[in-house]
């Protein structure tokens, strides 16, 4: 049994580490790829297309399938979009888990990116918000948002919105009311538009955007594990 875990925009696999270790300790094989343009310098994200991310996710899924007959997909923020993309393209997947899915972002400047990227190559991030002060030490990400990459994220959002009715795999959506990056209606929109009959929506009360490392990460990990276990074949 395998789980593909995908990090978010400007982030790294460190965002998924706590939950990945929790699942691995319970016998699940984990793959957590570094997406193109990430893990080096911010300018690299201005040199990639959204299809580079989907191709990376597809390749990681295929490689994990070589080791595990059944593979679940999970992702945080933009990684959640990639998990939904994979679920839309692979209806036979046994399940998908999306954390803080970035379908509706709070930053209105995203609307200016298609034109603004030609004048401003990147803009600074606000200090990350966490409910657990120690959570900041559990992640690594760029300190700026590259604008060409942000535009590519917008293209991915549009593609995923189109694919939502094709998502028929069991689905767990986890979001927090305190998320300052993604609007809370993002989770509900996904819940309402996917084709999945087996779907759950979990709204947290004490986590920020990176809920995989924040105050309630253990609850998130437990819910993820229970979701997976409940969808295994008998004796699985």
Q: Would you say residue 52 lies in a domain?
A: yes
Kindly report, residue by residue over 26-65, the tens digit of the pLDDT: 999 999 999 999 999 999 999 999 999 999 999 999 999 9
173, pLDDT greater than 60: yes
**Structural domains counted in the chain:** 1
Q: Would you say residue 155 lies in a domain?
A: yes
Rounded average pLDDT over 142-154: 91
Non-local (6+) Cβ contacts of 134 within 8 A are: none
Q: Would you say residue 236 lies in a domain?
A: no
Non-local (6+) Cβ contacts of 137 within 8 A are: none
Q: Confidence class of residue 236 from pLDDT cuts 50, 70 and 90? A: very low
Q: Would you say residue 86 lies in a domain?
A: yes
Q: Would you say residue 234 lies in a domain?
A: no
> Which residues face 182 on adjacent strands?
105
- Which CATH number characterizes residue 58's domain? 3.40.50.1820
Enclosing domain of residue 24: 2-229
Q: Would you say residue 137 lies in a domain?
A: yes
86, pLDDT greater than 90: yes
Furthest C-alpha separation in the chain: 58
Q: What is the chain's percent helix, strand, coil content, to nearest 5?
A: 45, 15, 40
- Assess contact for 139 and 15: CB atoms under 8 A: yes
Q: What is the reported pTM?
A: 0.94
> Residue-wise over 144-175: b if at least 16 C-beta within 10 A, else e?
bbbbbbbbbbbebbebbbebbeebbbbbbbbb
109, pLDDT greater than 70: no
Q: Would you say residue 12 lies in a domain?
A: yes
Q: Would you say residue 235 lies in a domain?
A: no
| pLDDT above 90: percentage of residues in the chain | 85
Q: 32: buried, middle or exposed (CB in 10 Å: 19+, 13-18, 0-12)?
A: buried
């Amino acid at each position: 049994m395998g789980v593909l875990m995908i990090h978010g925009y400007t982030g790294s696999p460190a965002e998924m580490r706590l939950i990945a270790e929790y699942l691995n300790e319970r016998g699940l094989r984990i793959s957590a790829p570094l997406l193109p343009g990430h893990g080096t310098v911010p300018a690299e994200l201005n040199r990639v297309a959204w299809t580079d991310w989907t191709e990376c996710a597809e390749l990681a899924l295929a490689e994990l399938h070589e080791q595990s007959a059944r593979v679940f997909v999970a992702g945080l923020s933009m990684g959640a979009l990639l998990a939904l993309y994979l679920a839309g393209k692979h209806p036979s997947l046994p399940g998908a888990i999306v954390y803080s899915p970035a379908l509706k972002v709070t930053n209105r400047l995203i609307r200016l990116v298609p034109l603004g990227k030609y004048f401003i190559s990147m803009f600074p991030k606000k200090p990350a918000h966490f409910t657990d002060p120690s959570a900041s030490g559990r992640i690594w990400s760029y300190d700026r948002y590259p604008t060409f990459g942000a535009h590519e994220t917008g293209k991915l959002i549009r593609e995923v919105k189109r694919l939502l009715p094709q998502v028929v795999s069991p689905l767990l959506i986890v979001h927090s009311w305190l998320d300052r990056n993604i609007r809370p209606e993002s989770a509900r929109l996904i819940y309402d538009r996917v084709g999945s009959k087996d779907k759950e929506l979990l709204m947290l009360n004490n986590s920020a955007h990176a809920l995989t490392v924040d105050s309630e990460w253990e609850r998130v990990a437990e819910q993820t594990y229970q979701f997976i276990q409940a969808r295994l074949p008998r004796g699985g």
